[in-house]
């Protein structure tokens, strides 16, 4: 299978090349030139994440050097659960994606990408420099996945003062082959700097660059696996499709779900739940795309004013009416996030992280007509233990901390401060 740029369909590469490049030479994002389609029966006998992953991803690796190693890769990457739990009878469920090593959904894609990169590296090749911009969770997941892997160096860029203290500790506790940069700016600045680095002649000449953001196909495609696995499990048990409400920022998680549905998985409606950063909801409302500076919110990993993966959505649905038919979007402010954390802890005993609370509030605002006959699933993207400063005062007590997260939080930390410019990033990368 070949993958082309969202900006030029004639720019075509294989799967491994798309992973190593991260971004297409013209600045576009890689998408499949053609799509496989599946029936539910194609997954008969496939139970659990690794088994579904192998069948779902196999067509994308057809003819690629990584194809024969796919079974091994998915067993390594998908070695922790993604349980679907009932919140309210057969009407509301939650998909818990925070049981990996850094307690966020991005562990799935980061571990898959790291497993692929390790198998693509050849002895004696130049160091692979992996750039990642993060609004909170991505950087920690990528750092954990690549930490101490031979032949790779990771540079994590995060907005100084705009991630939670717990998230910052996860971004800066690694050392060895991982450098952490606190950028004097927003996540959008971090993302812009990474994109500019990939087309900078000086860096291209001296650094072997790749990306681990969700702009990288190898981060996004494996995220379709937990949607495929969960929807199959639900359909087999209940005979109906599962609808998803997805906390959304840079849109990688949402695009993964849409891709899974477009390939034939039994997924119903998809709602994109945004915080006060309204670029996508406003685009769907007006048909006019107006990227804007990001706004800092309690759901900091979703503070994105110019979502990269909107380009992939628009490539799949070039007409605005087609996109409106495919998804809906909401915007939830901080006051509503706080209140939803309080209410759902009191009502269900559920402890939401601020991002999951955005999804929960979206469901709570739905009219009864949108709930009747539907089974809605909230996508829980991170453990509430990553946000104790926000969550604990709202629920009036401590949040249990997963053992893997507690170990990370006990490590010493170090970061370097960086101006929000390509020149500053270039200097830092060329000095390593």
CA atoms within 13 A on the CB side of 346: 8
Residue 95's pLDDT is 98
Residue 178's pLDDT is 94
* Mean pLDDT to the nearest integer, 395-412: 91
Percent of the residues in the chain that have a pLDDT greater than 70, as a whole number: 100
DSSP letters for 308-320: TTHHHHHHH--SH
Domains of the chain: 81-104+220-400 (3.40.50.1100)
Contacts of 423 (CB under 8 A, 6+ apart): none
Measured distance CA(299)–CA(275) in Å, rounded: 7
Could you tell me if residue 4 is left (phi over 0), alpha (psi between -120 and 50 degrees) or otherwise beta? beta
Based on the number of CB atoms within 10 Å of its own CB, is 238 exposed (0-12), middle (13-18) or buried (19 or more)?
A: exposed
Residue 334 has pLDDT above 80, yes or no: yes
Give pLDDT tens digits for 190-214. Answer: 989 998 998 899 998 888 888 887 7
Measured distance CA(325)–CA(269) in Å, rounded: 10
* Mean pLDDT to the nearest integer, 301-311: 93
Residue 312 has pLDDT above 90, yes or no: yes
* Mean pLDDT to the nearest integer, 421-427: 95
* Mean pLDDT to the nearest integer, 92-102: 96
Q: How confident is the model at residue 113 (pLDDT cuts 50, 70, 90)?
A: very high
Measuring CA to CA, which residue among 131, 191, 122, 177 is closest to residue 156? 131
Contacts of 163 (CB under 8 A, 6+ apart): 134, 135, 136, 171, 300, 301
Q: How confident is the model at residue 126 (pLDDT cuts 50, 70, 90)?
A: confident
* Mean pLDDT to the nearest integer, 91-112: 95
Residue 125 has pLDDT above 90, yes or no: no
If residue 108 lies in a helix (H) or strand (E), which one and from where to where? helix 106-120
- In 3-state terms, what secondary structure has residue 82? coil
Residue 18 has pLDDT above 80, yes or no: yes
Residue 265's pLDDT is 98
Residue 123 has pLDDT above 90, yes or no: no
Under DSSP, the state recorded for 41 is G
Residue 187's pLDDT is 85
Measured distance CA(158)–CA(169) in Å, rounded: 12
Asked which of 116-130, 216-230, 235-249, 367-381 is least confident by mean pLDDT, the reply is: 116-130
Measured distance CA(67)–CA(173) in Å, rounded: 34
Asked which of 47-51, 135-139, 190-194 is least confident by mean pLDDT, the reply is: 135-139
Bridge partners of residue 99, in order along the sequence: none
Measuring CA to CA, which residue among 55, 58, 51, 118 is closest to residue 79? 51
| Furthest CA-CA distance within the chain | 61
Residue 17's pLDDT is 93
Measuring CA to CA, which residue among 353, 328, 74, 47 is closest to residue 221? 74
DSSP letters for 97-162: ---STTSBTHHHHHHHHHHHHHHH--TTPPPEEEEEE-SSSHHHHHHHHHTT-TTEEEEEEEETT-
Q: What are phi and psi of 345, to 5 degrees?
A: -70, -40
Question: For residues 141 and 102, is the Cβ–Cβ distance under 8 A?
Answer: yes
Measured distance CA(99)–CA(399) in Å, rounded: 15
Q: What mean pLDDT, rounded, does the chain reach?
A: 94
Measuring CA to CA, which residue among 187, 191, 213, 209 is closest to residue 200? 209
Retrieve residue 428's tokens. 């830092």
* Mean pLDDT to the nearest integer, 371-382: 96
Measuring CA to CA, which residue among 338, 114, 298 is closest to residue 218? 114
N-to-C CA span, the chain: 36
Give pLDDT tens digits for 52-83. Answer: 999 999 999 999 999 999 999 999 999 999 99
Residue 34 has pLDDT above 80, yes or no: yes
Give pLDDT tens digits for 253-280. Answer: 999 999 999 999 999 999 999 999 999 9
Residue 21 has pLDDT above 90, yes or no: no
Contacts of 255 (CB under 8 A, 6+ apart): 214, 220, 309, 312, 313
Task: Kindly report the number of other CB atoms within 10 A of residue 265's CB atom.
Answer: 26
- In 3-state terms, what secondary structure has residue 12? strand
Residue 221 has pLDDT above 90, yes or no: yes
Which of 152-166, 200-214, 293-307, 321-335 has the highest average model confidence (pLDDT)?
A: 321-335
Residue 137 has pLDDT above 90, yes or no: no
The distance of Cα 32 from the centroid of its chain, to the nearest Å, equals 18
Residue 271's pLDDT is 98
Residue 136 has pLDDT above 80, yes or no: no
């Amino acid at each position: 299978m070949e993958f082309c740029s969202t900006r030029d369909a004639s720019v075509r590469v294989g799967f491994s090349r798309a992973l190593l490049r991260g971004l297409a030479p013209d600045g576009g994002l890689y998408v499949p030139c053609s799509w496989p389609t599946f029936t539910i029966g194609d997954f008969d006998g496939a139970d659990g994440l690794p088994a579904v992953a192998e069948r779902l991803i196999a067509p994308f690796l057809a003819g690629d050097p990584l194809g024969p190693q796919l079974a091994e890769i998915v067993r390594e990457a998908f070695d922790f659960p993604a349980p679907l739990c009932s919140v309210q009878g057969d009407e509301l469920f939650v998909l818990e994606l925070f049981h990996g090593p850094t307690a966020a959904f991005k562990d799935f894609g980061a571990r898959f990408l790291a497993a692929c990169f390790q198998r693509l590296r050849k002895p004696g090749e130049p160091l692979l420099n992996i750039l990642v911009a993060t609004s909170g969770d991505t950087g920690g997941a990528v750092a954990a996945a690549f930490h101490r892997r031979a032949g790779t160096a990771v540079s994590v860029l995060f907005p100084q003062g705009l991630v939670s203290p717990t998230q910052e500790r996860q971004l800066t506790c690694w050392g060895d082959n991982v450098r952490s940069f606190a950028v004097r700016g927003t996540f959008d600045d971090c993302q812009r700097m990474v994109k500019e680095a990939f087309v900078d002649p000086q860096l291209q000449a001296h650094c072997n660059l790749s990306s681990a953001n969700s702009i990288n196909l190898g981060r996004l495609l494996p995220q379709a696996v937990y949607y495929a696995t969960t929807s199959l499990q639900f359909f087999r048990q209940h005979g109906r499709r599962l609808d998803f409400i997805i906390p959304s920022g840079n849109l990688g998680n949402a695009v993964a779900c849409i891709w899974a549905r477009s390939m034939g998985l039994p997924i119903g409606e998809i709602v994109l739940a945004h915080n006060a950063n309204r670029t996508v909801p406003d685009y769907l409302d007006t048909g006019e795309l107006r990227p804007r500076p990001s706004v800092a919110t309690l759901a900091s990993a979703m503070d994105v004013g110019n979502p990269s993966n909107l380009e992939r959505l628009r490539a799949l649905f070039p007409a605005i009416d087609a996109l409106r038919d495919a998804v809906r979007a909401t915007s939830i402010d901080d006051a509503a996030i706080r209140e939803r954390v309080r209410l759902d802890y009191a009502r269900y005993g559920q402890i939401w992280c601020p991002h999951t609370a955005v999804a929960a509030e979206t469901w709570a605002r739905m009219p009864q007509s949108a709930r009747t006959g539907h089974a809605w699933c909230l996508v829980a993207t991170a453990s509430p233990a990553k946000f104790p400063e926000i969550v604990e005062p709202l629920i009036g007590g401590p949040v249990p901390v997963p053992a893997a997260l507690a170990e990370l939080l006990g490590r010493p930390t170090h970061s370097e401060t960086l101006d929000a410019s390509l020149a500053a990033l270039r200097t830092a990368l060329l000095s390593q």
